Amino acid sequence: MNTDDSPALVLQEQPADGVVLLRLNRPNVLNALNLALRREIAAQFRDLGSRDDVRCIVLTGNDKAFCAGADLNEYVDATPTEIIGRNMPLLWDAVADCPKPVIAAVNGYALGGGCELAMHADIIIAGESATFGQPEVRVGLIPGGGATQRLTRAVGKFVAMKLLLTGEPFTAEAAFASGLVSSVVADDQVLPEALKLAIEIAGLPTFAIRQIKELVLESMNGTLEAGLRQERKAFQLMFSTTEKTERIRRFLKKRPQRNSSNESSTNHKEDKKP
């Protein structure tokens, strides 16, 4: 917990209607994840996920680091019992289970737990100079925030094996090429691009956005057949929303009307051709 005179571990802003920006705020240690920061991230996501006025969340760090990983000061002498007592799955799940779309805006380092935190987002916008990696093996650990599963699903077995077994860092361009990152932009455009995308998503039908997120995430856990069944049910459910009706009507009004008489005349002439 923070004392009254200590800086907030996560800064919250609302740069646009429906959009919330969360900034990790431990700059002196490159936003390393200690238990207090993890708990604050989880608390923020639980709150934002329950709010009707929030339609998209952007998570970022600073120019030097999105998040450089776990704070190893809390790991060096920890015992298995102590680690179990920290209930880390509950803290990660608060981000993973957030029903609102989450965009990670990544500058600088996204290593270890920081890379895993980015992978809990739905979209990753990375700066050209961003560096990703899972270096846990180099300090005698393995990833504990889902990288053996999420990274493998994102980039495939053979790329994931190389990255996880060596712990070597990789560039934003390599991350994009392997499917881990949604897009790579100039370093000074990471947050503007993430916010632009968040504003666009926030302006789209909330119920449809939520259904799409649920279905895509579920596609990673089940069979194709099960996923298609769920998609069909969700598609049918969309026809109960008034927003669907209103938006389709607006779309149809914008479409140029066909000239039925000209079309009929053209078809009639074509019929007479040998």
Which of the pair, 215 or 270, is modelled with greater confidence? 215
Cα gap 219→217, rounded to integer Å: 5
Residue 44 near residue 33, CB atoms below 8 Å: no
Exactly one of 18, 116, 118, 160 is catalytic; which is it?
A: 116
Q: What is the pLDDT of residue 232?
A: 83
Cα gap 210→207, rounded to integer Å: 5
Size (the chain), residues: 274
Instruction: Give the residue from 145, 8, 179 showing the smallest Cα distance to 69.
Output: 145
- The 10 Å CB-count burial string (b at 16+, else e) for 121-146 is bbbbbbbebbbbbbbbeeeeeebbbb
Q: What is the pLDDT of residue 252?
A: 86
Is residue 116 part of the annotated active site? The answer reads yes
Is residue 136 part of the annotated active site? The answer reads yes
Q: Is the dihedral of CA 117, 123, 125, 126 positive or negative?
A: positive
Instruction: Give the residue from 133, 135, 52 showing the smallest Cα distance to 99.
Output: 52
Q: How confident is the model at residue 1 (pLDDT cuts 50, 70, 90)?
A: very low
pTM of the predicted structure, to 2 decimals = 0.86
**DSSP label of 33:** B
Exactly one of 136, 160, 193, 198 is catalytic; which is it?
A: 136
Name 76's Cβ contacts closer than 8 Å, sequence gap at least 6: none
Average pLDDT (35-63) is 97
**DSSP label of 52:** T
* Region 10-202: CATH code: 3.90.226.10
- Tell me which of 65-79, 191-205, 217-231 is least confident: 217-231
Is residue 113 part of the annotated active site? The answer reads yes
Q: What is the pLDDT of residue 257?
A: 63
- Mean pLDDT for the chain? 90
Q: pLDDT at residue 88 above 50?
A: yes
Q: What is the pLDDT of residue 267?
A: 52
Cα gap 111→42, rounded to integer Å: 19
* Region 206-255: CATH code: 1.10.12
Common-topology check for domains 10-202 and 206-255: no
Q: What is the pLDDT of residue 191?
A: 98
Which of the pair, 250 or 201, is modelled with greater confidence? 201
Give the percent of the chain with pLDDT over 90.
76
Q: What is the pLDDT of residues 95-139, one digit of tens each?
A: 999 999 999 999 999 999 999 999 999 999 999 999 999 999 999
Exactly one of 61, 112, 113, 145 is catalytic; which is it?
A: 113
Instruction: Give the residue from 109, 97, 102 showing the smallest Cα distance to 68.
Output: 109
Residue spans of the domains in the chain: they are: 10-202, 206-255
- Tell me which of 9-13, 43-47, 207-211 is least confident: 207-211
Q: What is the pLDDT of residues 207-259, one digit of tens each?
A: 999 999 999 998 888 777 787 787 888 788 788 888 888 888 888 888 776 65
Q: What is the pLDDT of residue 87?
A: 92
Classify 103 as helix, strand or coil. strand
Residue 213 near residue 122, CB atoms below 8 Å: yes
% helix / strand / coil in the chain, to the nearest 5? 55, 15, 30
Cα gap 119→96, rounded to integer Å: 9
Name 15's Cβ contacts closer than 8 Å, sequence gap at least 6: 21, 195
Tell me which residue has tokens 């053209």.
266
Q: What is the pLDDT of residue 235?
A: 80
Q: pLDDT at residue 43 above 80?
A: yes
Is residue 200 part of the annotated active site? The answer reads no
Name 224's Cβ contacts closer than 8 Å, sequence gap at least 6: none
Could you tell me the end-to-end alpha-carbon distance of the chain, in angstroms, rounded to an integer? 85
Q: What is the pLDDT of residue 254?
A: 85
Average pLDDT (49-56) is 97
